[in-house]
Structure 1
């Protein structure tokens, strides 16, 4: 289920970026906050960081913890998500899509090359937002994060008059 959720959420995110002009990617939302381009870069950087955390945690012994419900993870992400990964540079839509695909197929794939989803559910790590969380749940945060910011991107697109 994890891999299907990751694939579904990322496809929706990539589809939402398709056809946007650079002006639309970097338009400041009327309500303030990050642009679509900054959100996309934030998601890519967050995914890379999460994959690195999981790979690091796989090297140490840890206990099995009860799986957390995705709605709990989403609520924590919504409260604690910061855009400190956003960079001041600008990337074209094609570059953002390439970065997102690269993080998925290089960084995240390296996790699945190391282990199986079953092992990820048996290992855990401590994270400030979630407490002690399984490595599988930590990877769940990637697709949940994509979905949360996907909704934000859809709202920004609508405010810009871009096709949702």
Structure 2
């Protein structure tokens, strides 16, 4: 009898997990990359001006945005209107320089003067092309998304793509 009860309990727990996962899968289906093609600016420009912030929101993983060297470089995306933000992904360059995305604060706000921390990434990507994912608190709404290096003295921020999953 005890084994029968344990088996039913395990089946019940598995059923709850399946229901939960199904709800998650259904709720993620309506998320889109709300940053694609939107206006992006960065704190400085690389001297040759070949790597503007717009390259971080063009959907092409083989090019990249690149700031000049400074203490706390940042890149900001104007989504055009407020969105409910679920997740933000930052993709490191695929050709080199993964160390140019380290110790990042990722913020979201309804105005550039009122940004809230969505998440923080500590350390340096281990491989080129690495994906850094930050899940925002469930009530995060904003028009602006900003990534910023917050550690070090001489930094360059270089990202292949920034994807903002929202609705």
TM-score (norm 1): 0.29
Q: Higher relative contact order at CA 8 Å, sep ≥6: structure 1 or structure 2?
A: 1
**Which one has the bigger strand percentage?**
2
